[in-house]
Structure 1
Amino acid sequence: MTKQVLEPSGEPAEGGGGGVRSVKSAERTIAVLEYLSSAVRACSLREVVTALGMPRASGYALLTTLVDTGWIETDGGGRYRIGIRALRAGAAYVERDDVVQRAQPVMDELHGDLGETVHLARLDGAEVVYLATNITRHSLAVVSRPGRRLPSWATGLGKAILAGRPWEEVDALLPPGLEARTEHTITDRTALRAELEEIRRRGHAVDEQESTIGLRCFAVALDFGSAPNEALSCSIPIVRLSPEREETIVAALLRARARIIR
């Protein structure tokens, strides 16, 4: 006899059958939260259900529930954005993360010494997710907030992490087509492989305006004894750079990495 899977309420789980099965409503909830968290602006019901391939009625019911529970917010005009409870969950993740806790004091000192923006990020699939940021004290700055996701191949942070992995693994990890964020983004696989080999030889990665025009980023991977999954970086507008300044930044990053992984 097949055992029926029940929800905590006693109702049959979606999909029925035996064993552990995914719950469609939970999958849809996660998809909505991930979609809104990556959106650059508030989204309409139509945009959400179209992007996620969801029935309109189900989408509306789910969005209403998430608004009522505080996970998303609405502007009252039919547009939705991520809510404060999602912020609390994200903040709790960062506050309890071992790597962040080890890196943050060193990042604070690095930021104090250099006076430029310092980032810590983690590889998640083919993207890097920013975990912590110390913002430059200069007025001219481009900031990536914690939680922001960017293509790994278009950032110094991502390239530093990818360079610590075999090319076969990197090739399987990346999407078939490499999207360009700027005219400088490396979108050719052969060129990217050569770039990663150069990073391994050099010991640090450089983002040459590949993610943001006018910004150069220097990054080092944090290797804790296995394939690196995190990286530390310093971003600076090219108008404030000189060869001597670049050497200072790279040397400071290498010292910071040694302290974090020690």
Structure 2
Amino acid sequence: MGRLVPAVTRALDILELFLEGDGVHTAPEITRKLGLPRTTVHELVTTLAARNYLVQLPDQPGRYRLGVRTYQLGSRYAEQLDLAAEGRQVARGVAETCDETVHVAVLEDADVIYIAKVDSTHAVRMVSAAGRRLPAHCTAVGKMLLASLPEDELRSRIPSGAELTAMTPHSLTSPEDLHEALAGIRGRGIAVERRESNPDVACVAAPVRDSGGQVAAALSISVPMIRWSEERRAELEELAAKGAADLSERLGFRGRA
């Protein structure tokens, strides 16, 4: 691995500082927050502004925000993003932490499609595959995605009186019961499913957001019932939420939902 260049590192530290707060800073603020010499900050800010990575606010001299060049770089990065590939990388890290099966899924009509999967190393584990399609109302990822829809869109996908497929005796088959469950999921920001898609498996899921803050996918952790407990559920909910947040950040999401 090559040597890090101090000047480049400091320039990037300055740019990353603008991701915090309201995204506006002065040179003295940058000097104080980063602990850099005043002259160094002045030279780096001047260079970044000359290259359109920073721009002075027109009505507030001495105050800077990110410039158009950073937007252009971000847009090019977004064009090259592959949700499935990014999802596999994040899912791999989550699976290594909990040693359970991790999925990333998207919503299509009233179904979910798994676009990424990393298996547990346990002999007893959930059997599934990327590309598999399941009824959304029977899965934690599906419920998370359905709960994220505007109410009118949700009603159009699963109208009152619809016949919901049961995958197990525990599956929700009433649209009214499903809508009630989704309201609870919206309140908690996490979805839990026990034995609704597989009689021997429980799942937790959290939302994945794109750069605009919209829910684009969901990440789930699936656990055989023999390893399920309320204590384990709380651990996995936290881990799923962290994994989903990591994937959201890779997709360009900043801030809080």
TM-score range normalised by the length of the shorter chain = 0.5 to 0.7
Q: Which protein shows a greater Rg?
A: 2
Q: Secondary structure at the match of 2:116?
A: strand
Q: Quick one: which of 74, 94, 114 aligns to 1:110?
A: 94
| Cα deviation, residue 226, structure 1 | 4.8
Read off the aligned partner of 2:215 and give its amino acid letter: P
| Cα deviation, residue 214, structure 1 | 1.5
TM-score (ref. length: structure 1): 0.61
1:190-244 Cα distance to aligned partner (Å, 9 max, x none): 1111100100111111111110001101011212235423111000011112222
- The answer to whether residue 215 in structure 2 is matched with residue 231 in structure 1 is no
Q: Which blocks of at least 5 consecutive residues in structure 2 are unaligned? A: 1-79, 250-257
Aligned residue number for residue 259 of structure 1: 246
Alignment of 1:34-73 (within 5 A): none
Aligned residue number for residue 109 of structure 2: 125
Answer whether contact 1:199 1:205 (CA < 8 A) is retained.
Answer: yes
Q: Supply the distance in 2 between the matched residues of 1:248 and 1:141 (Cα, whole angstroms).
A: 18
Q: Quick one: which of 179, 190, 204 aligns to 1:218?
A: 204
Q: Quick one: which of 176, 179, 204 aligns to 1:190?
A: 176
Alignment of 1:127-146 (within 5 A): 127-146=111-130
- The answer to whether residue 146 in structure 2 is matched with residue 162 in structure 1 is yes
Alignment of 1:82-101 (within 5 A): 98-101=82-85
Q: Quick one: which of 209, 225, 233 aligns to 1:246?
A: 233
Q: Supply the distance in 2 between the matched residues of 1:135 and 1:97 (Cα, whole angstroms).
A: 23
Question: What is the identity percentage for the equivalent residue pairs of Structure 1 and Structure 2?
Answer: 34
Answer whether contact 1:167 1:193 (CA < 8 A) is retained.
Answer: no
TM-score (ref. length: structure 2): 0.62
Answer whether contact 2:205 2:241 (CA < 8 A) is retained.
Answer: no
Q: Supply the distance in 2 between the matched residues of 1:160 and 1:222 (Cα, whole angstroms).
A: 10
Q: Supply the distance in 1 between the matched residues of 2:106 and 2:131 (Cα, whole angstroms).
A: 10
Q: Secondary structure at the match of 2:167?
A: coil
Q: Secondary structure at the match of 1:229?
A: strand
Q: Supply the distance in 1 between the matched residues of 2:138 and 2:214 (Cα, whole angstroms).
A: 20
Number of positions where the alignment pairs a residue of Structure 1 with one of Structure 2: 167
Q: Quick one: which of 181, 186, 199 aligns to 2:167?
A: 181
- The answer to whether residue 158 in structure 2 is matched with residue 171 in structure 1 is no
Q: Secondary structure at the match of 2:215?
A: coil
Give RMSD over aligned pairs. 1.6
Answer whether contact 2:87 2:116 (CA < 8 A) is retained.
Answer: no
Q: Supply the distance in 2 between the matched residues of 1:136 and 1:147 (Cα, whole angstroms).
A: 18
| Cα deviation, residue 167, structure 1 | 2.5
Answer whether contact 1:165 1:227 (CA < 8 A) is retained.
Answer: no
- The answer to whether residue 188 in structure 2 is matched with residue 202 in structure 1 is yes
